């Protein structure tokens, strides 16, 4: 009976330890996912801003005088 109780105690201690490790791993995994998501959002915003800036410059050049366009394009 004493051996059975000891074995149960050891097994429940190991189960508790495994649950704690899983919890820690899940926290690390969640923080990596959050960091990756934020980085992707930031990169997407940078791309959108760059596209808008280029589009604005392109539209301004289209509204310019023909000579200015020629100078810009080095024609």
Q: What is the pTM of this model?
A: 0.39
Tens of pLDDT, residues 34-74: 878 888 888 888 888 888 877 777 766 666 565 665 666 56
Compute the Cα dihedral for 31, 37, 43, 49 and give only its sign: negative
- Asked whether 41 and 49 are in contact (CB, 8 A), the reply is no
Between 66 and 24, the higher pLDDT residue: 24
Q: Cα(10)–Cα(3) distance, rounded to whole angstroms? A: 11
Is the pLDDT confidence value at 3 over 70? no
pLDDT at 75 exceeding the cut of 60:
no
* Token couple for 65: 């005088």
* 3-state secondary structure at position 3: helix
Is residue 10 over pLDDT 60? yes
The contacts of residue 61 (CB under 8 Å, 6+ apart) are 68, 69, 72
């Amino acid at each position: 009976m004493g051996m059975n109780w000891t074995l149960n105690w050891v097994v429940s201690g190991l189960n508790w330890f495994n649950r704690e490790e899983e919890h820690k791993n899940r926290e690390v995994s969640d923080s990596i996912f959050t960091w990756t998501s934020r980085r992707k959002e930031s990169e997407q915003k940078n791309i959108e801003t760059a596209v808008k800036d280029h589009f604005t410059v392109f539209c301004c050049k289209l509204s310019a005088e023909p000579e200015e366009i020629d100078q810009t394009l080095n024609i």
